Amino acid sequence: MLALGPGVLSIVENPGSCPICGGPMGVQKTTPRRGRSLAHGAFEAIETVHRCAAGCRWPSGKQVVHRAESLRQTLLPGSIVGYDVMVFAGLERFLRHRQREEIRAALNDHYSVSISTGEISDLSRRFVQYLARLHQSKAEEIRAVLECDGGWPLHVDATGEAGRGTLLVAIAGWR
């Protein structure tokens, strides 16, 4: 990455060779891409996208292209918001019981990241989806650790107001 000025980065990564033919990759386009993350604040990246010079295509018919890996690791797919913002919003919402407006204010005050309360709702939902996938992928390892403890007592709690919005929580007692 090369900084071009306040909040503007030029991202040029070595694309390597085409994974299909082994030939060189050429520049397809240079395009601006906006982003917001806790680590970088609001930024604009000038991304160089490469494609196979021989015109190779994947079995799906899509061209073989190489996009900046640093942007893929920073920003959520199809979004200008970073993974770190999603994690912050999810932890604040579900672990610290913060309201959307409180999360929005904290992001703006501490990180100069300005997003809407609707985006915070979307990020919170995505956080839970990522967490569920992680939990499912590690379920056998979690089960093995809990069995090594000799089992696990569950503390069960269900809360709600007037029969609405009941939340069921089961927490392993020894961990």
Q: What is the pLDDT of residues 101-146, one digit of tens each?
A: 999 999 999 998 999 999 999 999 999 999 999 999 999 998 898 8
List, in order, residues 6 or more apart from 107 with CB less than 8 Å away.
Answer: 85, 88, 89, 113, 114, 115
> CA nearest 48: which of 9, 90, 83, 106?
9
C-alpha 4/C-alpha 8 separation (Å) is 5
User: Tokens 């060189």 appear where?
Assistant: 24
**Residue 27 pLDDT:** 93
Facing residues of 48 across strands?
30
Of 134 and 171, more confident = 134
Token pair recorded at residue 144: 């093995």
Mean pLDDT over residues 145-158, rounded?
80
Instruction: With a cut of 80, say whether residue 155 has pLDDT above it.
Output: no
| Mode of pairing for the β-strands spanning 41-52 and 8-11 | parallel
pLDDT score for 5: 45
What's the whole-number average pLDDT of the chain? 87
Q: Given a cut of 50, is residue 11 above it in pLDDT?
A: yes
Question: What average pLDDT does range 25-48 have in this prediction?
Answer: 90
Per-residue pLDDT, 130:
95
The pair phi, psi for residue 167, each rounded to 5°, is: -120, 120
The percent of residues in the chain predicted with pLDDT above 90, rounded, is 56
What does each C-alpha distance from 40 to 34, 45, 90, 116 come to in angstroms? 11, 11, 19, 18
